[in-house]
Structure 1
């Protein structure tokens, strides 16, 4: 989905809502900054990364017999920051105790891992058996070689962020809100990073199941970085939050709010080299709002 298409869809989203009939009363009501994180499921396959990095020397290795742990480690976190303008539809003489609709429009920046995968293999060989002359306890000594490949597809995302929310009494010290939102934009500075780790060590295990590892100097660390094309992404989410007004008397504190917001989201990312991915995520963070 192109950004132009998303913008038109966002405008239709706002204009098609029932409250658009009150557009003559819409006015700028607040400015907010939202800082937080994004936890998403971003499982990628070996084939995905071979498409993202077709000339990689590391990915030409034979992965037969390797374990894939992406199913356990594919939830990753990334940072995000949003700058939002809020537009109220209520007139000044409306009853503020009712649910208050608000249109929020702004820009959001996120960065982090969009796809992740890990392949590893452990070769273990019996090296020696030590028997205590005093107690007769045995200690088994193994020679172990651990080989691991970490694969990450990373990007910086800049998106237009539009949401329609409904607040409980905004004049109260505490208020709650929920609604629906969409985001769309571009993923830039995309790159694929592949890490290769290889370590050999001696592991001792006695009858009491005590392990001791002695690492050798035969370790290997390699990294490859591949630049990828920019891509488009779109996301739908459900904003849910709690808002706290800092003061009751002083004008500055009456206009200043702190809030926490949670956004369960469904994201669609069109990566040119691979195709379209649909992922779930949870955005969460704190913000400050000036009314």
Structure 2
């Protein structure tokens, strides 16, 4: 038994000595290989909104009580736009350094500040104010008293979501790299506010279509909306420029430009219906931890 123990101890010491003389290079086996930080913007478009969808986006509004049946609804497409911040890490699933190709799983958080195009309700009334007789032609001219009421409604909110992307990366021998893949984002809205602005004006319309003796009043109201879950399916496509090939610090930094075309479902009050196609643009930095 002692002989076996001595042999095992000798074998272990020999193995440690050999490993010390020939250390194993594990730098290529790091799982977390990249850190991504970027900022940009997004644009989304939906269908044409209806009166009920716009009013439903301001629940509990005192200014919109009754639904404004005497006002004409100026509808338009549900267009959204805003700023975007994104931070993530890249996990290397597969790599072929000889060919400069790799497959990565990128996961992180995205934050967006989004605002939609405003919708309007309008009403204009005219009343005879004065009657004038032209000294030249003898014709009768009328001056009207005009009363106008306009409601502008606009919704803003923040989004926070978890992003998961499967990326296929190609590093070229020089400074450039390309990548693309598919991804999904899931999250919720935060801090949603629907702002209602009511403008009323009363004035005399002069004969040359000008205004005289006008009275103008503006009042506004802000209505908070609840958080709404959303899902975004997108296709990321990007290009990167590595700052250097030899310097250890600069070769780890890659300037990236990425576009994401996709479809978003949810994440809005009822005034933005249905799936919304959109695109986002991101300018950022990739830190290659393996370089």
Instruction: Decide: shared fold, TM above 0.5.
Output: yes
2:168 to 148, 151, 166: 166
CA displacement, residues 99-141 of structure 1 (integer Å, 9 cap, x when unaligned): x22111000011223685333345578989999x9xxxxxx98
Give 1:192-231 correspondences, 5 Å limit. 192-200=194-202, 217-231=214-228
Q: Name the TM-score, length of structure 1 as normaliser.
A: 0.72
Give 1:148-163 correspondences, 5 Å limit. 148-163=150-165
In structure 1, the partner of 2:281 is 284
Residue 239 to residue 202, structure 1, CA distance change in 2 (3 Å): farther
CA displacement, residues 193-235 of structure 1 (integer Å, 9 cap, x when unaligned): 21222345677897xxxxx855865222221112222221111
CA contact (8 A) 1:270 1:277 kept: no
In structure 1, the partner of 2:100 is 97
In structure 2, the partner of 1:19 is none
Give the unaligned 5+ runs of structure 2: 1-28, 137-141
In structure 2, the partner of 1:266 is 263
CA displacement, residues 151-179 of structure 1 (integer Å, 9 cap, x when unaligned): 22332211000001112225541222211
1:55 to 60, 63, 72: 60
Give the unaligned 5+ runs of structure 1: 1-24, 134-139, 207-211
Q: Figure out how many residues of one structure are paired with residues of the other and give that number.
A: 254
Task: Tell me how far apart the structure 2 counterparts of residues 216 and 80 of structure 1 sit (CA, whole Å).
Answer: 47
Residue 273 to residue 262, structure 1, CA distance change in 2 (3 Å): closer
Residues 1:119 and 2:116 aligned together: no
Q: Name the TM-score, length of structure 2 as normaliser.
A: 0.72
Residue 125 to residue 271, structure 1, CA distance change in 2 (3 Å): same
Query: Cα RMSD between the aligned structures?
Result: 3.6
